[in-house]
Amino acid sequence: MKLIIAIIKPDRLEAVKQELYKEDINLMTVNEVLGHGRQMGITEVYRGAKEMGNLLRKIRLEIAVNENYVEPTISAIIKGAQTGEVGDGKIFVLDLAECVRIRTEERGGVAIG
Amino acid sequence: MKRVALWAVLLCLIGAGICWAEEAANQTGAVAAIQPDGQAKSLIDTGDTAWMLISIALVMLMTPGLAFFYGGMVRRKNVLGVLMQCFIVLGVITAQWILFGYSLSFAPGKGFWGGFDWLGLCGVGAAPFKEYAATIPHEAFMIFQAMFAVITPALIIGAFAERMKFSAFLIFTVLWATFVYDPVCHWIWGVGGWLKDMGVLDFAGGAVVHINAGMAALVTALVIGKRTGYANKPVSPHNLPFTVLGTALLWFGWFGFNAGSALGANGLAVHTLVVTHTSAAIAGITWAALEWIFNEKPTIFGTITGSIAGLATITPASGFVTVFAAAVIGFLASVVCYVSVAIVKPKLGYDDSLDAFGVHGVGGILGMLATGLFASKAVNPAGADGLFYGNPKQFLIQLVGVGVTVVYSFVVSYIIYKIIDVFMKVRVPERDETIGLDLTQHHENAYTILE
């Protein structure tokens, strides 16, 4: 089991979701986060007071999958989120030790999907 | 752009200075008008003037109300952009109005514009100008009309929301006010205006305000193109409570807009207020009912959209029709605008982001035509009888008024847009649109995620 965490541009979320649905991946958690990679943030000015290097809004997706879904998930996220510009984001893949479905107390691979 | 803005402000100041000097030279005359020498003072009715002062404030509040009405509907990365556009219009058009806009619109004359006699408000003082309003200071009429001139270009913002460059917006607004609002306003309301002389009835701005802005909205929505990622479905509004608050402020302000257009504290003003309120109420219920029937549930967004449609539609008719005619007009307003927003717009596929055309343009046209049907001399002897009161000619006159405004606003708004687009791209680059207008156009953020 793997936990896939992706940081993407907010306006790509809809496209990424559609790509994931095509691969039959329907379960995900979505967060709004602030991020700052190589892309520079935009300077903000409040009554003349400058705030430099601010963070930009990003979307963070968390998807837990069984091994056979790892590559389809990654390629679906890339398909939906890639624009070719700086700031497209990152995908992290982590090992997942356990997964429990609270309703039924099932554990492991069956609990994920 | 910065330099241009600075020069514009400087020119305004010089213009104001010249007029001031002229007025100082004519001081004897001006003082005679203001000083209570008996005759001049007795013309002014204190009750009428008090009501106008309140109406002016009420109509002023509509522009910030509109800012919140629109602001709630956009995504949160663009909310400050919309609020800023609405607020800056309050400043820019007020400056335009006192320098030359009022003169172009209302100075008596038979030309394209009224004339240049009242440039810089020269000669516009405390003494009433009988042809417009005999019992209130001329200055009160001037500033009341200024609020109309402000809210009209602000209405157009809904069409190109979330994707217009701020600098281009400023230039568009000033040119549009000068070459579309001012002439049409003169033709319909100004002494010597040819549509006014023809007998076109527009009590509080169905054609001057709503059709004018609505057609400009349609043009700009068509020319600027859809928002990136717009797939024929509405973008989720980021803060509907803002939109409800904005509607409440608009409804409240509309009493000044319509009842204030009676230009006095009298029976007609009261009747206009009752008619306006009735139409808004019936239209709100109607839209909710339509949604209940066709979309399973009534929504607050739909209900307030209906009320705004009812208010926009009753505007030209408000001083001429009975209360029950107003109820019928309110009902029709919601039905017709519902069709235009929920059925026609998705079919045609243009992106009028916040339905400036679908509600104001369509509502204004319907209202102007309804005036030709329901107007009655029994309500307002200064008006005319409509088709249902045995005068089919009035309907034809209204039709001409609508046709002229629709075509003129459509064509000239298009030309203005295209000219600006030659010198500077009107639309923001795609990257800026993705990040949002707040950060890219104004360097500020409406909401924080982290402190």
Whole-number pLDDT of residue A42: 77
- Residue B5 falls within a domain, yes or no? no
Best B78, B434, B450 member to test A by mutation, with max A CBs in 10 Å, is B434
- B33 pLDDT more than 80: no
Q: What is the pLDDT of residue B402?
A: 97
> Does some domain include residue B124?
yes
Question: Does B237 map to a domain?
Answer: yes
Supply the pLDDT for residue B4: 62
Counting one residue from A and one from B, how many pairs have CB atoms under 8 Å apart?
A: 27
C-alpha to C-alpha distance for B198 and B61, rounded to whole angstroms: 33
Give the three-state DSSP class for A19.
helix
Q: Do B444 and A32 touch (CB under 8 A)?
A: no
Decide if B173 is inside a domain: yes
Is B77 within 8 Å of A57 when comparing Cβ atoms?
yes
Tell me the per-residue pLDDT of B98-127, one tens digit each, with 9 for 90 and over.
999 999 999 999 989 999 999 999 999 999
d(CA A76, CA A86) in angstroms, rounded, equals 19
Angstroms from A70 CA to nearest CA on chain B: 28
Q: Is a pLDDT exceeding 60 seen at residue B345?
A: yes
Alpha-carbon torsion (B436, B442, B443, B448), positive or negative: negative
**pLDDT score of B63:** 97
- CB contact at 8 A, B314 and B280: yes
Least confident of B30-44, B96-110, B140-154, B408-422: B30-44
Give yes or no for a contact between B104 and B182, defined as CB atoms under 8 angstroms apart. Answer: yes
- CA torsion, ordered B34, B38, B44, B50, to nearest 10 deg: 80
Task: Give percent above pLDDT 90 in chain B.
Answer: 84
| Domain extent for B291 | 28-35+42-431
Asked if A11 and B434 come within 8 Å (Cβ–Cβ), the reply is: yes
Cβ–Cβ contact A40 with B under 8 A:
no
| pLDDT at site A43 | 78
Give the per-residue pLDDT at A89: 92
Q: Which of left, alpha, beta for A108 (phi over 0: left; psi -120 to 50: alpha)?
A: left
| Residues sharing a CB contact under 8 Å with residue A82, sequence separation 6 or more, in sequence order | A88
Residue B450 domain-assigned?
Answer: no
CB contact, 8 Å: A34 with chain B?
A: yes
Mean pLDDT of the region B147-171: 97
Cβ distance A32 to B434 less than 8 Å, yes or no, reads: no
Of the pLDDT bands very low, low, confident and very high (cuts 50, 70, 90), residue B12 is low
- Judged by CB atoms closer than 8 Å, whether chains meet at B435 and A56 is answered as yes
Q: Is residue B341 scored above 60 in pLDDT?
A: yes
Q: For chain B, what is the mean pLDDT? A: 91
| B233/A contact by beta carbon, under 8 A | no
Task: With a cut of 60, say whether residue B331 has pLDDT above it.
Answer: yes
Inform me whether the C-beta atom of residue A110 falls under 8 Å from chain B C-beta atoms.
Answer: no
CA distance to partner chain B, nearest, from residue A96 (Å):
29
Contact A42 B443 (CB under 8 A): yes
Residue type, B198: M
Q: CB-based burial of residue B389 (10 Å sphere; 0-12 exposed, 13-18 middle, 19+ buried)?
A: middle
- Residue A95: give its domain's CATH number: 3.30.70.120
Cα nearest neighbour of B445 on chain A? A44
Residue of A nearest to B228 (CA): A11
Q: How many domains does chain B have?
A: 1
Those of residues 57-96 in B touching chain A at CB distance below 8 A are 77
**Cα separations in angstroms, B422 against B162, B186, B192, B416:** 21, 29, 36, 10
Report the Cα B326 to chain-centroid distance in Å.
20
Whether residue B50 is contained in a domain is answered as: yes
Question: Does the beta-carbon distance from A9 to B449 stay under 8 Å?
Answer: no
3-state secondary structure chain B: CHHHHHHHHHHHHHHHHHHHHHHHHCHHHHHHHHCCCCHHHHCCCHHHHHHHHHHHHHHHHHHHHHHHHHHCCCCCCCHHHHHHHHHHHHHHHHHHHHHHHHHHHHCCCCCCCCCCCCHHHCCCCCCCECCCECCCCHHHHHHHHHHHHHHHHHHHHHHHCCCECHHHHHHHHHHHHHHHHHHHHHHHHCCCCHHHHHCCCCCCCHHHHHHHHHHHHHHHHHHHCCCCCCCCCCCCCCCHHHHHHHHHHHHHHHHHHHHHHHCCCCHHHHHHHHHHHHHHHHHHHHHHHHHHHHHCCCCHHHHHHHHHHHHHHHCCCCCCCCHHHHHHHHHHHHHHHHHHHHHHHHHHCCCCCCCHHHHHHHHHHHHHHHHHHHCCCCCCCCCCCCHHHCCHHHHHHHHHHHHHHHHHHHHHHHHHHHHHHHHCCCECCHHHHHHCHHHHHHCCCCCCCCC
Mean pLDDT of B306-330: 97
Range of the domain at A96: 2-112
d(CA A112, nearest CA chain B) in Å: 30
Q: How far apart are CA B242 and CA B72, in angstroms?
A: 5
CB contact under 8 A, A42 and B431: no
| pLDDT for position B234 | 62
What per-residue confidence (pLDDT) applies to B177? 97
Q: Does B445 touch chain A (CB under 8 A)?
A: yes
pLDDT, tens digit (0-9, with 9 covering 90-100), for B363-379: 999 999 999 999 999 99
What stretches in chain A show pLDDT beneath 50?
A: none
| pLDDT tens, position by position, B379-428 | 999 999 999 999 999 999 999 999 999 999 999 999 999 999 999 999 99
The reported pLDDT for the residue numbered A55 is 78
Residues of A in contact with B434 (CB under 8 A): 9, 11
Looking at CA atoms only, how far is residue B20 from chain A in angstroms? 33
> Cβ–Cβ of B450/A44 closer than 8 Å?
no
Contact at CB, A45 and B229, closer than 8 angstroms: no
- Contact criterion met (CB below 8 Å) for B257 and B58: yes
pTM of the model: 0.89
Q: Is the CB of residue B440 less than 8 Å away from at least one CB of chain A?
A: yes
Answer whether residue B335 is part of any domain: yes
B446 inside domain: no
Give mean pLDDT, residues B168-190. Answer: 97
Q: Which residue of B has its CA nearest to A46?
A: B444
* Confidence bin at B29 (pLDDT 50/70/90): very low
- Say how far apart CA B423 and CA B165 lie, in whole Å: 13
Which of the pair, B38 or B200, is modelled with greater confidence? Answer: B200
Shortest CA gap A20–chain B (Å): 18
Nearest-by-Cβ selection for B229 from A11, A33, A46: A11
pLDDT given at position B27: 47
Domains in chain A, number = 1
